[in-house]
Amino acid sequence: MRTKPLSGFPEFLPAGRIAELAVLDTLRETFELHGFAPIETRAVETMDALTRKGEITKEVYTVRRLHAVEGEAPKDDLGLHFDLTVPFARYVQEFAGHLAFPFRRYQIQKVWRGERPQEGRYREFTQADIDIVGDNTLAAHHDVEVALVMLEAFERLHTRFGLPPVVMHVNNRKLAEGFYRGLGVEDHLAVLQRVDKLDKIGPDAVAKLLVDDLGISPEAAAKCLELATIQTADTSFVEQVRALGVENPLLDEGLAALAEVVDAAAKAVPGRLVADLKIARGLDYYTGTVYETELTGFESLGSICSGGRYDSLATDGKRTWPGVGISIGVSRILAPLIGKGEFVASRSVPTCVLVAVDAEDTRVASNDVAARLRARGIPTEVAPKADKYGKQIRYADRRGIPFVWFGDTVKDIRTGDQSPADPDTWTPPAEDLTPSIARG
């Protein structure tokens, strides 16, 4: 059998997977500390559910029984989910009668996008999402909450593993809509679509589009651009917006909501969240707060953690479930770092102790030592072969296993220190019990 990697489907060596698991464990720990319940949805959804939003259709992977391909009429009725929001919306509707609202869930799963692979784009990747959904209503303070939970998670990843710090950029769609309405422009989405191109085409070109396409006055267009350049780490953005002299009740609402998020974050995680009035995000989708997040020093990755408030995550015609949620692109952060060996575990196995084997007929004694160490939670292997001790040490060394147990002694193979030890009482230093994870 010949094998070759599939472009866009990253896979890690064990030391990389150990590092990835440590990150996923930290996310789960954070989400559970905040009372988010875990769910897992199936990998497939009906094509009907997946293609509701026309623009992503081309990225869907269809799934079909091979047998069906050969014999039955083809029905493209299933596809792999391309995010965790569509499946969650379906899950909420399907199980609504069994869920308690507001319903807080986290979901850490693979998603798939059938796009042409390119640098930094994956066809299979892991996302970690939190969402809070209400039954018809959902209080505004949850918009603050989800941002703080994600920032707390990133703070843990930063302090525990040395992953880069983040800056979350937050805006509120009501703010922009109210501002444009205050300027007399009714089609606020048309303005937003054009302002959203600011980073790509620059302010002059955007101003031209606003004037030429939408018939907005050059003065009003200039104000739209001024609004988009406002970015503050505290609530001073409110004054800056006020100074533009536009008045509208929806603008007031947006300003107040955004100020609440910024204010809470400034207290809880100083320096990690900014009001950034150019953030648009998911034009047809979000209706209030929107979030994007940059990894400091890795801004070229784009937003690694995004989301927002939606008035209707799901609806069955009678009931509507509004929600707010944020999604971390775990693979987008980790795959480049792990792939380049910049973020891996200190060893390629969980093993803390290798118990040496003196001769094959005394393997049972080594197994017994290992069982006693494991009974106290110490990950332990027994040497696969009664080789010369040097070779057994090499087995440990190649895997990064720090300790080798010989008879009644234990040796730290990094320092060469050897000392008498009892498998019922000996305990490794806490930092050696499990692999340590750090940026290299």
> In the set 27, 84, 85, 112, which binds a copy of itself (CB under 8 A)?
112
For position 173 contacting a copy of itself by CB under 8 A, the verdict is: no
Pick the piece of the chain touching a copy of itself (CB under 8 A) from 134-142, 153-161, 177-185, 224-232.
134-142
Q: What is the DSSP secondary-structure string of 201-251?
A: H-HHHHHHHHHHHH---HHHHHHHHHHHT-EESSTTHHHHHHTTT---HHH
Within residues 352-371, the interface with a copy of itself by CB under 8 A covers 363, 371
Task: Please spell the DSSP secondary structure of 345-359, one letter per residue.
Answer: ESSSSS-SEEE--SS
Was 310 annotated as part of a binding site?
no
Residue 285 is assigned to a ligand binding site: yes
Residue 281 annotated as binding site: yes
Q: Which residue has the tokens 């600011």?
A: 198
Q: Of 30-38, 181-189, 194-202, 250-258, which segment contacts a copy of itself by CB under 8 A? A: 30-38
Q: Residues 55-74: x/- map of binding to a copy of itself (CB under 8 A)? A: --xxxxxxxxxxxxx-----
Q: What is the 3-state secondary structure (H, E, C) of 170-200?
A: EEEHHHHHHHHHHCCCCCHHHHHHHHCCHHH
Q: Cβ 318 to a copy of itself, closest distance in Å?
A: 12
Q: Is 131 annotated as a binding residue?
A: yes
Residue 392 DSSP SS3: helix
Measured from the CB atom, the residue of 303 and 331 that comes closer to a copy of itself is 331
**Given candidates 73, 100, 359, 430, which one binds a copy of itself under the rule CB under 8 A?**
100
Residue 225 in contact with a copy of itself, rule: CB under 8 A: no
48 class by beta-carbon count within 10 Å (0-12 exposed, 13-18 middle, 19+ buried): exposed
Name the residue type at position 107: Q
Residues between 310 and 349 that touch a copy of itself (CB under 8 A): 314-316, 348-349
Rounded to 5°, angle at Cα 387 from 384 and 390 = 110
Of 204 and 360, which CB lies nearer to a copy of itself in the complex structure? 360
Report 378-437 residues binding a copy of itself (CB under 8 A): 378-381, 384-385, 395, 398-399, 401
Q: Is the peptide bond before 117 cis (omega within 30 degrees of 0)?
A: no
Contact 266, 236 (CB under 8 A): no
Annotated binding residues: 83-85, 113, 127, 131, 281, 285-286
